């Protein structure tokens, strides 16, 4: 299953949406590399990039939530920490399996589900809250 950002995933805050789009693009690259059976080193590099990008995105998103006084920031922080933990496990499992591509392919659903659900159920609320403050960026 391809990992694609679609307009219904828009939070309504431009810099968050832009980062989500890049995240989806990079995650899709990782899964495509897995399906194409690229070298283990290449996939490790992609996992590392995704891990770093995700951490940066979460820092940026949390800084924005702090700036606007978002009331559900703690729930967001917990969800973000949980996802980072899952990415770390994914990398570990991949390396412990000797670079078994199936680990990456099977992780696809977990990542797609988490991302889509997190954006739809949690991140969209950031945009709704920002809108009440007149904080929406164009």
| Separation CA 3–CA 54 (nearest Å) | 15
Q: 138 falls in which pLDDT band (50, 70, 90)? A: very low
80 contacts 57 by C-beta, under 8 angstroms = no
Q: Cα torsion for 41, 87, 11, 17, to the nearest 10°?
A: -20
Q: What are the distances in angstroms from CA 47 to CA 27, 33, 50?
A: 9, 11, 5
- Between CA 96 and CA 107, with CA 102 as vertex, the angle to 5 degrees is 90
CATH of the domain spanning 8-133, picked from 1.20.120.50, 2.40.100.10, 1.10.40.50, 3.40.50.2300:
1.20.120.50
- Mean pLDDT across 47-64: 91
Task: Give me the chain's average pLDDT, please.
Answer: 85
pLDDT of residue 1: 52
pLDDT of residue 116: 81
47 contacts 90 by C-beta, under 8 angstroms = yes
94 contacts 47 by C-beta, under 8 angstroms = yes
- Mean pLDDT across 12-28: 88
Return the percentage of the chain with pLDDT > 90, whole number: 36
pLDDT at 137 over 60: no
pLDDT at 100 over 60: yes
| Separation CA 116–CA 94 (nearest Å) | 23
Tens digits of residue pLDDT in 117-135? 889 889 999 999 999 988 6
Pick 92 or 112 by higher pLDDT.
92
- Token pair in block for residue 21: 């789009």
């Amino acid at each position: 299953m391809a990992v694609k950002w679609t307009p219904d995933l828009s939070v309504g805050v431009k810099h968050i949406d832009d980062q989500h789009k890049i995240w989806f693009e990079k995650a899709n690259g990782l899964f495509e590399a897995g399906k194409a059976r690229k070298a283990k080193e290449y996939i490790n590099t992609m996992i590392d990039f995704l891990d770093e990008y995700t951490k940066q995105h979460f820092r940026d998103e949390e800084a924005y939530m702090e700036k606007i006084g978002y009331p559900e920031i703690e729930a967001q922080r917990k969800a973000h920490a949980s996802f980072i933990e899952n990415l770390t496990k994914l990398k570990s499992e991949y390396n412990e399996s000797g670079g078994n591509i199936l680990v990456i392919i099977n992780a696809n659903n977990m990542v797609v589900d988490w991302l889509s659900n997190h954006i739809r159920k949690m991140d969209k609320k950031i945009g709704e809250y920002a809108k009440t403050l007149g904080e929406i960026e164009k």
